[in-house]
Structure 1
Amino acid sequence: MSQKLKIPTVRLRRLAAELRSLRSSAGLTRDEVLERTGINPATLYRVESAKANPQKRTLIALLDLYEAPPALRAEVLAMARGATEQGWLRPYHSELPQEYTAYISFENEAWEVRNYESLFVPGLLQTEDYVRAVIAGMLPQAGSREVDQRVQARVDRRAVLTKESPLRLRAVVDEAALHRAVGGREVMRAQMKHLLQMMDEPNVALQTIPFSAGAHPGMPGSFVLMTFADAEDPEIVYIDSMAGDLFLEAPVELRRYNAMFDDVMAQALSPSATADLITKLMKNNL
């Protein structure tokens, strides 16, 4: 994959939203902006959809046209200067799928992640051996280099839980994921121990939906809700599926997935009961 691939960031999304808002407040269509500034319509579309960071002269032309107040003008210009910073993304991550590197960037900037998993231990709580077994099993045709890159990326991601201002993780997992012997008994025993250790961290909460709960709203598949510290940065829903990865931002979708997560949490065991279940599984099966 090209080293020049641009991965969206929260700042780039916010910049795009601010420019759309300014154009709307000015009562202008994209065609009218083109007529009055000469900016290419494709360029304006890419800027307003967070697919490109505008050049400074383009941004100034837009701010002049929209008559942005001085304070807002300065804020937008500052936003643009840092809009493509990729946080902790490593150079080799440019070879990973675009959607996954975008996810990594968003996750690094998030304040809270709410993750429901039906078949796997949540990614941020996986041990390296578990990760390797998952990737090797899911991508049997992948070469050793690709597997190593994906494993390292997953391991690197865990740093968000221990950084200076750590990510808040709220995870719910179906009990089935705890029974699936990914990598064998020793790998699963180490994975269960790691879960218990991570559950002692104040920013991590893990709950399990037991088999006894029967059918529940999370059964169609896994999803992630990412919330950012600044209220101006909208939430994102991320879905990883065989049909492709999706990022959802529409308010109706956000409401639906927030409600779904609330529902699965309500049907899940408490964190302490989940710890008891994991301990019992280790004793009886591992």
Structure 2
Amino acid sequence: MTQRGQAPTARLRRLAMELRQLRERAGLSREQVAEATEINRTTLYRIEMAQAKPQVRTLRALLDVYDVSKDHRNDLIAILKLAGEESWLQTASEDLPGHYPTYIGFEREATAVLNYQLSFIPGLLQTEAYARTVIPGGAPELSAAEVESRVAVRMARQVDRDPSPIIEVIIDEVALCRRTGGPKIMREQLQHLLNKSEKSNVTLRVIPLSVGVHPGMHGSFVILRFAHGVRDVVYIEVSTTDLFLDNENEIRRYNLMFDQLRAVSANQGESRDLIARALAGIQ
């Protein structure tokens, strides 16, 4: 069980999310699972809401009912055993599930996504052609099929999905200047940015090159916010290493950094002008 008043860690929330999705895919109600496993329905609810940490035998019983594969089962048991740790460093060499499904799961449940990007257009605002360029650029080991799969997932995450969270994006102007994929792809991408910046749930700001040194120059990050007083998660992706931060002090630090980046950014109207000038400058 989680301690009273203590926010669930990123791992525990990941486990809760997976168990809820597994039950729903199996087409089972909580009442049916409770009857099949003799796990109290209230306990099952608390486990699925990350309000309680299940025992290993309880988790195994649930995975039996959901007919989970051996590899997936081992992944979830590994997450449970490490669920008390707040920060979650996940690399390609770990025996845990890939970071991308983890991040997407958190993003899907978030009520707000605060994203600062230094070098690229954020994934939630990318065109398909732009995504098809940057995904293999950052992971050249991916096969063509894997690239297409990731592109399809990224397109499904776009800001038009329903329900869509509040999205606040801050982009360094350098991302607008980089000719990613060539002139045609970049023109389409910048026009796409202008179009999406008009959506009611999207706030888009640009940090002008004239600002000089600013707090975001060390790298990009995402802050995911949730309902019901659930603590934020900070996600940082660096090459093959991915970090999920769930520590209160770290979350406070990244929220402060986002506030500082917002303060040095152009306002929304000025940001649109910067994007339009970048678009006009592409030959």
What's the TM-score, normalizing by structure 2? 0.70
In the alignment, what sits opposite 1:41? none
| Offset, 1:243 | 5.0
1:218–1:264 contact (8 Å) kept in structure 2: yes
Distance 2:250 2:112 in 1: 18
Residues 1:116 and 2:116 aligned together:
yes
String of CA shifts for 1:159-179, please: whole Å, max 9, x gaps. Answer: xx2344321100001100001
Distance change in 2, residues 1:49/1:209 (3 Å): closer
Residues 1:226 and 2:224 aligned together:
yes
Residues 1:80 and 2:47 aligned together:
yes
In the alignment, what sits opposite 2:174? 176
| Offset, 1:110 | 0.4
| 1:26-105 matched pairs, under 5 angstroms | 51=15, 60=40, 74=42, 76-80=43-47, 98-105=98-105
Kindly provide the amino acid, as one letter, of the partner of residue 245 in structure 2. L
| 1:1-286 matched pairs, under 5 angstroms | 19-21=1-3, 51=15, 60=40, 74=42, 76-80=43-47, 98-158=98-158, 161-231=159-229, 233-242=230-239, 244-286=241-283
Kindly provide the amino acid, as one letter, of the partner of residue 112 in structure 1. A
Kindly provide the amino acid, as one letter, of the partner of residue 273 in structure 1. E
**Percentage of identical aligned residues:** 38
Residue 170 of structure 2 aligns to a residue whose secondary structure is strand
Distance 1:174 1:191 in 2: 15
Query: Over the residues paired in the alignment, what is the CA RMSD in angstroms?
Result: 2.9
Kindly provide the amino acid, as one letter, of the partner of residue 179 in structure 1. C
| Offset, 1:79 | 3.9
Residue segments in structure 2 that go unaligned for 5+ positions in a row? 21-32, 51-58, 60-71, 73-91
| Offset, 1:23 | 11
Aligned length: 220
2:187–2:282 contact (8 Å) kept in structure 1: no
2:138–2:239 contact (8 Å) kept in structure 1: no
Distance change in 2, residues 1:280/1:262 (3 Å): same
Residue segments in structure 1 that go unaligned for 5+ positions in a row? 1-18, 25-46, 61-72, 85-93
| Offset, 1:81 | 5.4
Distance 2:272 2:12 in 1: 46
Distance 2:139 2:161 in 1: 30
Residue 182 of structure 1 aligns to a residue whose secondary structure is coil
Q: Which has the higher contact order (CA 8 A, sep 6+)?
A: 2
2:14–2:106 contact (8 Å) kept in structure 1: no
